[in-house]
Chain A
Amino acid sequence: MVLSALASAGVLLLGWELGASAQSAQDTTATTGSTSTDTGTATSGSGSSGSTGSTASGSSTALTDGTFTGSTANTQFGPVQVQVTIASGKITEVKALQLTNYGGRSVQISNYAAPILRSEVLKAQSAKVSTVSGATYTSDGYLSSLQSALDKAKA
C-alpha cells in the first residue's frame, strides 16, 4: 500500500514537472488506479516544495534531466515525500525522503516481502528444532503434530 502510494506520488510529481496541467496529472493518476484522492490533491495542487533540478520547458513531453523533489503527500499511513532522478529522459531513481510513521515505527521499504524459491528455504529437520510454529491445532490435531512428537521426546 505504501509502495503504491509512493509510485503514485512519483507519477504525479512527474506530471507536474513536465509542466503539464493539474488535469493531466490527475489523468496519469487515474491510469495507475491505486492512488488516493488525498495523494492527488496534495501533490498536484501545491507543486514541489523543493525542486532542485532544472524545470521542464513549455509543453515538451520529454522528461527533463535532474533531481526533483515532490511535495509531501498525506496518505492514510501519514506523510510521504519522494525524490525522482531523471537521466537521459528516463527515471533512474525514486527515493523516499519522508516515510510514514505508523504503528510507532518509521516505515522501511526495504522490509518488503519478496518471492523466494523453495530451494532457497533450507528445509529444517524436526530433530534440530526446539519447538514448532504452525496454524493453531486443536487438542485432537495436536496428537498428530510435530510438536506432540517433540514433547514426547522431551517428556
Chain B
Amino acid sequence: MIYVFETMGTVVSIEPPLRVPEIEAVFAERNERFSLYLPGSELTQIATGALLLQDASPQILDAYARALEWRSLTAGAFTPHRPDGVIDLSGIVKGMAIEAAGLILADRGGWILNAGGDVLTSGQAATVGIADPFDRTQLLTSVHLGGSRRAVATSGSAERGDHIWGGGGFAQVTVVANDIVTADVLATAIVAGGVETLNASTSAWDIDVLAIDPTGNLFATPGFTASIAGAAALAN
C-alpha cells in the first residue's frame, strides 16, 4: 500500500501509506508561498516588485538565507538567482518541504518518501532505483540506503534547460547524503558546475555521487560504487 498525492507540480509517494494531514499541508503551504507559477504567491509578488524583500515573511527570508548560504558554499554553482535576477527558491524549497515532512513522520516507524524523484527514508533500508537520463523507462542502476544514509536526490540538465547552464555540466547527477537538503542542493549544483563542482563537493561533504556526462560517461565515488554493490547483493 502506498499514499500518493500531487503537489508542487509533481507527485509525492509515501510507503507505507501514512496519511498524516499535516504532510500535504507542508507541501501545499510552501507551494502557495514559493511558486513562481502562481500569480498571487508571495515570491511572485517579490519577483514583480509588488512586495519588497525586506517585507517578506520569515519563511521566505529563511529559505532565501539558506539558499544564499549554499550559493556561498558551492562557489555560486547553486544559486537562488535566475539569470534575469528573479529570486527563484525552487532549488531548495522542495528539499526543505521533504525535510519538514520527515520531521512530522519522525515517530511513525519505517517509511520511504519520494517527492518528484527525491527520496527520504527513515528507519527502513531501501533499494532506490536511479532513472536512466537517456531512457526514462529504464533504470541505470540502484543504490542501497540504510542507517544514517537517508536521502537521495537526482538532478538533470533537462530539468532546468540546457540553454541556461551551457554544455559544461552533467546530464544527470545523483547525490546520496544523510539529509535531503544537502543531497538536493548538491545534485543541482554539480549539474550546473560540472567536474569542478563535483570534485569540490565530494571532497567537502559526506556524500556519495553518481554523475553522467552528456555523452553517457559515468563517474562514481567509492561510496556510491559500494552502495550499488550493496543493492545488487540484496537483489540476489
A147–B114 CB distance below 8 A = yes
The listed residue (A113, A145, A147) touching B221 by CB distance below 8 A is A113
A132–B117 CB distance below 8 A = yes
Q: How far is the CB of A76 from chain B (nearest CB, A)?
A: 8
B137–A108 CB distance below 8 A = no
Find chain B residues with CB under 8 A from A136 CB: 10, 94, 116-118, 155, 159
**Bound: A115/B128 CA distance, A:** 21
**Bound: A31/B36 CA distance, A:** 47
Q: List 24 A-B contacts (CB under 8 A).
A: A2-B204, A3-B199, A105-B205, A116-B219, A118-B218, A122-B141, A124-B141, A125-B235, A128-B142, A129-B127, A129-B142, A130-B126, A133-B130, A134-B136, A135-B156, A136-B117, A136-B155, A136-B159, A137-B116, A142-B11, A144-B137, A146-B129, A151-B2, A151-B4
Most chain-A Cβ atoms within 10 A of its Cβ — which of B118, B141, B203, B220?
A: B203
Which of B49-57, B60-68, B79-87, B222-230 is near enough to bind chain A? B222-230
A23 at the interface (CB under 8 A from B): no
Among residues 91 to 136 in chain B, which have CB atoms less than 8 Å away from a CB atom of chain A?
A: 94, 112, 114, 116-119, 126-131, 133, 136
Find chain B residues with CB under 8 A from A147 CB: 11, 13, 114, 117
B139 at the interface (CB under 8 A from A): yes
Q: How far is the CB of A6 from chain B (nearest CB, A)?
A: 10
The listed residue (B114, B156, B217, B221) touching A132 by CB distance below 8 A is B114
Q: Knowing A131-B114, A147-B13 are in contact, say whether A102-B159 is a contact too (CB < 8 A).
A: no
Q: How far is the CB of B224 from chain A (nearest CB, A)?
A: 8
A131–B15 CB distance below 8 A = yes
A residues adjacent to B (C-beta < 8 A): 1-3, 76-77, 100, 102-103, 105, 107-118, 120-126, 128-139, 142, 144-148, 150-151, 154-155
Find chain A residues with CB under 8 A from B192 CB: none
A133–B129 CB distance below 8 A = yes
Q: Knowing A132-B114, A136-B94, A147-B114 are in contact, say whether A112-B126 is a contact too (CB < 8 A).
A: no
B residues adjacent to A (C-beta < 8 A): 1-2, 4, 6, 9-11, 13, 15, 73, 75, 94, 112, 114, 116-119, 126-131, 133, 136-142, 152-156, 158-159, 172, 174, 196, 198-200, 202-207, 209, 211, 216-225, 228-229, 231-232, 235
Find chain B residues with CB under 8 A from A116 CB: 218-220, 225
B202–A146 CB distance below 8 A = no
Q: Using CB atoms, name the residue of chain A closest to B129.
A: A129
Q: Knowing A128-B127, A135-B158 are in contact, say whether A115-B114 is a contact too (CB < 8 A).
A: no
The listed residue (B136, B141, B152) touching A121 by CB distance below 8 A is B141
